[in-house]
Amino acid sequence: MKWGAAALLSGNKTVPFFSQSATFAELWPDICQQVDDVIRVGKYSHGHKVAEFEQALADYTGATHVVAVNSGTDALVLALRAAGLAPGDEVIVPAFSFVASASSVVLAGGRPVFADIEPDTYGLDPAAAADAVTSTSGFVMPAHLFCQLADLGGIGALARRHGLTVIEDSAEAIGMRWDGTHAGLVGRAGVLSFFPSKTLGALGDAGALLTHDARVAETAAALRHHGRFGATLNNFPGISNTTTLSGMNSKMDDIQAAVLVAKLTRLEADIKRRALLAQAYRQRLAGIPGVLRLPTVVRRDVPTTDVFYVFVIEVEQRVELIEYLAGEGIGTETYYPVPLHLQPCFAGLGHRPGQFPVAERACRHTLALPLYPDLGLDGVGAVCDAIARFYTGRAA
Ligand SMILES: *Cc1c(COP(=O)(O)O)cnc(C)c1O
């Protein structure tokens, strides 16, 4: 069998932005065993493997309820609806994030209201969010981006002051903890994405909702299955398949659950490896002119566990650097080049450039470098040398 990482392993200097071919090659016997189990039982959608993964994820995160679904995006829509979002309710979201942080609000029937971010963490700024509160605000939905949690202390205080429900877009935040509580469980509910490039990536799309709230879990579990309560739900067994709500078909399939059961066993090792690679980046990139900012992990009032999902720096001459690195066989990404308030899909909300300057600046300067367990220290070295050569004419 041939694996896509062959170029990486053969000494070729190409560094793709993302690859987990070596990880999958190593885990293949375990994955085959899990998939075999699915085929033997013969239930391929919300079957026993999904239930097994939900239990394993509940054990890992400490969530009372896990609702496994087909994507992080659908998990956000289900979380908002299950937590009681009424049509037209305002949801305060950051102006800098993946588009699903705001489009999920529209899909759930609400109205996204943007607020600016903190410059160092790229998380929703509680003071900016406070300015965005109106009499129809019902929810606040911070996103935890790149390597750390948004200020859940400040956002929690704001939510208590105004009676807002906190839903966490913790799609990128598996493994991160706020004062010992896993991301997504500080608010009413949160989500995880298992999109292939995420810290725990599947072999396709998948996601989950986490909550301690039994009603939210039960409603979300019904909404993922056409709005049917009972009958088919792993952790809410029942007898009825009456359709009570207009739901979706957002179920996780058992083949993805099989992959995730196998992969979850090495998540902590992967997270440690990511931290090591991030540390190497930090050392090699320090002091290179043109590199404006390295990731700043902010100390909060409570202990936090931070996890490097991606290594995002801020740079000068971003477009030229991206082209130079591409020429050297090094892949990069820009998360996120367009602030959410200026995305065409939200044009109807009537925003203009300059309204959220911190978010807009982040969109102009941030650059994500390759960071994944398969990337060796050699890979980090190759990326840093190329960046140094671009700005100074010499290797790092
Ligand atoms: C990845 C991501 C999502 C969406 O997850 P999918 O599984 O791709 O649907 C939502 N929000 C953020 C912040 C993300 O990074």
User: For the domain that residue 55 is a member of, what is the CATH number?
Assistant: 3.40.640.10
Report, as residue numbers or ranges, the catalytic residues. 198
Query: For the chain, what's the residue count?
Result: 396
Based on the structure, what is the number of domains in the chain? 2
242/273 same-domain check? no
Pocket test for ligand 1, best of 67, 71, 98 (most atoms within 8 A of CB): 98
Question: What's residue 243's pLDDT?
Answer: 82
CA-to-CA distance for 373 and 274, rounded, in angstroms?
Answer: 6
Going by their DSSP bridges, the two strands 366-369 and 304-305 should be labelled as: unpaired
Query: Are residue 251 and residue 301 in the same domain, yes or no?
Result: no
DSSP 219: H
Q: Please name the residue whose Cα sits nearest to atom 2 of ligand 1.
A: 171
Q: Number of H helices and number of E strands within the chain?
A: 13, 13
Q: Is the predicted pLDDT of residue 234 greater than 70, yes or no?
A: no
Higher pLDDT, 236 or 359: 359
Which of 104, 195, 310 for mutating ligand 1's site (highest number of atoms within 8 Å of CB)? Answer: 195
Do 232 and 124 lie in one domain? The reply is: yes
Shared-domain flag, residues 218 and 258: yes
Strands 137-140 and 90-94: parallel
CA-205 nearest atom, ligand 1: 7
Same domain, 214 and 258: yes
Distance CA 286, CA 165 (A): 40
73 CA closest ligand 1 atom index:
9
Q: Say yes or no: 223 and 283 in one domain.
A: no
**Terminal Cα distance for the chain, rounded:** 37
Tens of pLDDT, residues 326-358:
999 999 999 999 999 999 999 999 999 999 999
**What's residue 239's pLDDT?**
47
CA-only gyration radius of the chain, Å: 21
Q: What is the pLDDT of residue 396?
A: 76
How would residue 395 be classed by pLDDT, with cut points 50, 70 and 90? confident
User: Separation of 72 CA from ligand 1 center, angstroms?
Assistant: 5
User: What is the crossing angle of helices 48-61 and 254-264, to 10°?
Assistant: 40
Question: 292: domain range?
Answer: 4-22+266-392
CA 209 / ligand 1 centre spacing (Å): 12
- Mean pLDDT value of segment 317-328: 97
Mean pLDDT of 53-67: 98
* Co-location of 49 and 179 in the same domain: yes
Q: What rounded mean pLDDT belongs to the chain?
A: 93
Q: Say yes or no: 30 and 12 in one domain.
A: no
**Residues 9 and 32 grouped into a single domain:** no
- Enter the pTM of the model: 0.94
- Cis geometry, peptide bond prior to residue 60 (ω within 30 degrees of 0): no
Q: Which of 99, 101, 105, 250 to mutate to test the pocket of ligand 1 (most atoms within 8 A of CB)?
A: 101
Determine the Cα angle at 369 with ends 206 and 387, to 5°. Answer: 170
The ligand 1 site (C-beta within 6 Å) comprises 71-73, 97-98, 100-101, 143, 169, 171-172, 193, 195, 205, 207
- Final residue belonging to a domain, choices 216, 245, 264: 264
188 and 58 assigned to the same domain: yes
Last-in-domain residue among 203, 236, 264: 264
Q: Which residues pair with 210 in a beta bridge?
A: 66, 190
255-299 pLDDT per residue, tens: 999 999 999 999 999 999 999 999 999 999 999 999 999 999 999
Q: In a 3-state reduction of DSSP, which class is residue 185?
A: coil
Regarding whether 307 and 251 lie in a shared domain, the answer is no
Whole-number Å distance, alpha carbon 365 to ligand 1 midpoint, is 21
- Collapse the DSSP code of 14 into the 3-class scheme (helix H, G, I; strand E, B; otherwise coil) and give the result: coil
Q: Are 106 and 119 within one domain? A: yes
Whether the predicted pLDDT of 9 surpasses 50: no
Among residues 204, 229, 264, the one where a domain terminates is: 264
CA angle 275-326-173, nearest 5°? 30
Whether pLDDT at 12 is above 80? no
Alpha-helix residue ranges (DSSP H) falling in 140-233: 152-162, 214-223
Residue 282 belongs to domain with CATH number: 3.90.1150.10
- pLDDT digits over 95-134, tens only? 999 999 999 999 999 999 999 999 999 999 999 999 999 9
Give the pLDDT band (50/70/90) at residue 143.
very high
**Token digits of residue 339:** 């602030």
Ranges of H-type helices in the chain: 6-9, 21-41, 48-61, 72-82, 100-107, 126-131, 152-162, 214-223, 254-264, 267-285, 318-327, 357-365, 377-392
How far CA 248 is from CA of 81, 106, 111, 148, in Å, comes to 11, 15, 20, 31
Worst-scoring range by mean pLDDT, 19-23, 92-96, 387-391?
Answer: 19-23
